[in-house]
């Protein structure tokens, strides 16, 4: 079973400790129950019970301490098991995932830094149940690192005074350490330093959101810093800021997967028991189509994100393919999550507004994920840089297998410079597509060839390149190719049926047609571009037997999970 079912937890781990953490976390939420969790959400209750629980079982400490600094034998930074924790926490509520996610961001500059004393202290703080915060964005500048106004002023003998404000900083109200990004006043060099809210010079101004989360504005006023709190300087500080986001944004797709999976269970149970016009809702033809599309899109999200883990964990200075797949988990999987929720909401209808439903908070929270750790626009701009080499300059690179081994992901904290993205090479995507001979996959291959023809014969003009909307649509078309590639690769690894895989490509063919039509409709599209866009418009190949088999697979989830009250 690909989708998470807390009653039949099937994630595989090479050690008992990892599985125990996941099972205990599921047990915590099941014992808490939907009623109490919903009450806490509606009353904006700080989730101290969850933080006390994770401290008790050592969850954050075990999962977020690299093995070099481990205080127990099972501690390591292992993206495979971290993604399981991502999925589980979001399955029960985005707020629980958020405090974990923000801790990951706050830990990034520490583990990537050069300050060994702070690293050892951080391991102890994690053991004691500490959470962490990432002081990067500012109210007036967002995440524009060039414009940061937080400053660190040298005052002699390795001492400094920090001044400035940070905005939209999760966990800052309770963080053991806040990794804070700023500039040196004397050299204008970038710097990361560790601050803490236990100092009176650290002012938590307010919570800027109405949520269980505390997303702070905080101010430092002549906050004392010494060399002992400085994590990185200059280019290293800049790189650790961006590389931390590389690590952290990977989690957002997994939060979408968790939210959509729980929502699917609620929607299928509702539709299967709602009797209207002498039929159960699940018997209506349009409802069947909604469920098939929601199910195939959700399965595709997880297949892609699982496969991206393998590239993330296998990365090295010589193999940085993960830098394409990583922002796709952030951008593509989260926007697909919105699509899945839209489909399910058309099924569940007014029931989705009811305050006792998980669905009610899910449709609110799913919108946040494409907008955190860089918007869709930012991540698409990054993805497009890889397009020329991906399509036209493949390299011979090692085949990556499934990575669920108990290894520390050392490279994530030694990623190196954040430049040279246009030089990154990829293995030939035709290897994956050539391994499959299915009707809709074959239609999709033909659409890829037309897209390549467009890039060769009618590439974007300088004016079109300056039109971010034009590039976004082109980027969506490119993204679908990489998305399908990893879905195929993982389908072979996990033994996904041909019927399910081909039904996934049913919506993939339709999505290419949708974006091709959008590109055709741009006022700046040339005649050649318009003709090629029309060639990309294709209809998926119907197969009633295939459709019914996938529908039965989706409907088999009815009655499989319900969160107790």
| Residues 334-370 pLDDT 10s | 999 999 999 999 999 999 999 999 999 999 999 999 8
pLDDT of 375 > 70? The answer is: no
Q: Give residue 548's domain range.
A: 427-560
In contact, 386 and 324? CB cutoff 8 Å? yes
pLDDT given at position 197: 66
In contact, 540 and 510? CB cutoff 8 Å? yes
Q: Could you tell me the CATH number of the domain that includes residue 32? A: 1.10.540.10
- Residue that is last in its domain, among 131, 162, 181: 131
Neighbour-count burial of 285, counting CB atoms closer than 10 A to its CB (0-12 exposed, 13-18 middle, 19+ buried): exposed
Clarify whether residues 112 and 174 are in a common domain.
no
Percent of the chain at pLDDT > 70 equals 99
pLDDT of 110 > 70? The answer is: yes
Q: Cα–Cα distance between 13 and 17 in angstroms, integer?
A: 9
Clarify whether residues 74 and 94 are in a common domain.
yes
Q: What is the pTM of this model?
A: 0.96
pLDDT of 418 > 80? The answer is: no
439's tokens: 């009707």
Clarify whether residues 124 and 138 are in a common domain.
no
pLDDT of 194 > 90? The answer is: yes
Find the angle CA(557)-CA(37)-CA(59) to the nearest 5 degrees: 85
Asked, for residue 259, whether it belongs to a domain, the answer is no
In contact, 257 and 87? CB cutoff 8 Å? yes
pLDDT given at position 466: 86
Termini Cα distance of the chain: 25
Clarify whether residues 78 and 152 are in a common domain.
no
- Residue that is last in its domain, among 131, 165, 185: 131
Q: Could you tell me the CATH number of the domain that includes residue 158? A: 2.40.110.10
- Residue that is last in its domain, among 187, 205, 233: 233
pLDDT given at position 196: 86
pLDDT, tens digit, 9 for 90 and up, residues 463-514: 988 888 898 999 999 999 999 999 999 999 999 999 999 999 999 999 999 9
Clarify whether residues 453 and 480 are in a common domain.
yes
pLDDT of 371 > 80? The answer is: yes
Mean residue pLDDT across the chain = 95
pLDDT of 226 > 80? The answer is: yes
Q: Cα–Cα distance between 162 and 142 in angstroms, integer?
A: 19
The residue-averaged pLDDT of 14-34 equals 97
pLDDT of 374 > 70? The answer is: no
Clarify whether residues 454 and 537 are in a common domain.
yes
Measured CA to CA in angstroms, residue 168 lies from 205, 216, 491 at distances of: 11, 5, 39
pLDDT given at position 445: 98
Clarify whether residues 222 and 158 are in a common domain.
yes
Give the confidence band of 97 by pLDDT, cuts at 50, 70, 90: very high
485-502 burial by CB neighbour count: b if 16+ within 10 A, else e?
bbbbbbbeeeebeebbbb
pLDDT given at position 142: 83
Clarify whether residues 122 and 160 are in a common domain.
no
Between the CA atoms of 285, 288, 290 and 291, what dihedral angle is there, to the nearest 10 degrees? 170
The residue-averaged pLDDT of 441-449 equals 98
pLDDT of 379 > 80? The answer is: no
The residue-averaged pLDDT of 141-157 equals 91
Domain count, the chain: 3
Clarify whether residues 172 and 186 are in a common domain.
yes
In contact, 430 and 89? CB cutoff 8 Å? no
Clarify whether residues 450 and 538 are in a common domain.
yes
Give, to the nearest 10 degrees, the angle between helix 79-92 and helix 16-42: 30
Percent of the chain at pLDDT > 90 equals 88
């Amino acid at each position: 079973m690909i989708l998470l079912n807390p009653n039949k937890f099937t994630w595989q781990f090479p050690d008992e400790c990892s599985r125990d953490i996941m099972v205990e976390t599921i047990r915590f939420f099941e014992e808490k129950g939907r009623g109490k969790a919903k009450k806490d959400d509606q009353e904006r209750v700080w989730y101290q019970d969850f933080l006390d629980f994770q401290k008790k079982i050592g969850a954050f400490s075990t999962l977020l301490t690299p093995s070099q600094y481990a205080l127990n034998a099972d501690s390591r930074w292992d993206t495979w098991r971290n993604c399981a924790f991502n999925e589980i926490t979001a399955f029960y509520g985005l707020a629980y995932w958020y405090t974990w996610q923000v801790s990951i961001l706050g830990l990034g500059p520490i583990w990537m830094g050069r300050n060994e004393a702070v690293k050892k202290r951080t391991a102890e703080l994690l053991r004691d149940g500490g959470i962490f915060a990432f002081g990067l964005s500012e109210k007036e500048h967002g995440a524009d690192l060039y414009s940061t106004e937080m400053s660190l002023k040298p005052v002699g003998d390795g001492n400094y005074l920090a001044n400035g404000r940070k905005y939209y900083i999760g966990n800052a109200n309770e963080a053991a350490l806040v990794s804070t990004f700023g500039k040196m006043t004397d050299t204008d060099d970038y710097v990361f330093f560790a601050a803490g809210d236990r100092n009176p010079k650290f002012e938590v101004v307010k919570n800027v959101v109405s949520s269980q989360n505390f997303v702070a504005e905080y101010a430092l006023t002549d906050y004392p810093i010494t060399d002992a709190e400085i994590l990185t300087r200059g280019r290293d500080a800049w790189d650790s800021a961006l590389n931390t986001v590389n690590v952290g944004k990977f989690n957002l797709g997994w939060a979408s997967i968790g939210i959509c999976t729980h929502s699917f269970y609620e929607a299928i149970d509702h539709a299967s028991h709602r009797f209207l016009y002498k039929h159960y809702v699940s018997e209506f033809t349009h409802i069947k189509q909604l469920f098939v599309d929601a199910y195939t899109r959700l399965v595709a999200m997880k297949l892609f994100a699982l496969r991206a883990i393998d590239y993330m964990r296998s990365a090295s200075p010589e193999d940085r393919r993960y830098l394409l797949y990583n922002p796709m988990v952030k951008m593509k999987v989260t926007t697909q999550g919105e699509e899945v929720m839209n489909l399910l909401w058309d099924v569940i209808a007014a029931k989705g507004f009811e305050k006792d439903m998980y669905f009610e908070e899910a449709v609110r929270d799913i919108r946040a994920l494409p907008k955190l750790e860089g918007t869709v626009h930012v991540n698409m701009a990054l993805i497009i840089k890889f397009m020329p080499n991906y399509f036209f300059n493949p390299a011979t690179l090692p085949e990556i297998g499934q990575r669920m081994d108990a290894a520390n992901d050392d490279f994530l904290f030694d990623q190196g410079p954040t430049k040279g993205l246009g030089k990154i090479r990829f293995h030939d995507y035709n290897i994956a597509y050539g391994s499959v001979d299915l009707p809709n996959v074959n239609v999709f291959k033909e659409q890829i060839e037309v897209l390549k023809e467009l890039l060769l014969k009618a590439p974007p003009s300088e004016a079109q390149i300056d039109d971010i909307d034009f590039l976004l649509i082109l980027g969506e078309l490119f993204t679908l190719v990489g998305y399908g590639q990893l879905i195929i690769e993982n389908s072979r690894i996990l033994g996904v049926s041909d019927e399910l895989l081909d039904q996934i490509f049913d919506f993939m063919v339709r999505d290419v047609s949708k974006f091709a039509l959008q590109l055709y409709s741009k006022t700046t599209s040339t005649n050649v571009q318009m003709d090629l866009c029309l060639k990309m418009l294709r209809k998926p190949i119907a197969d009633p037997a295939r459709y019914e088999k996938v529908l039965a697979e989706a409907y088999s989830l009815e009655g499989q999970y319900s969160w107790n009250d």
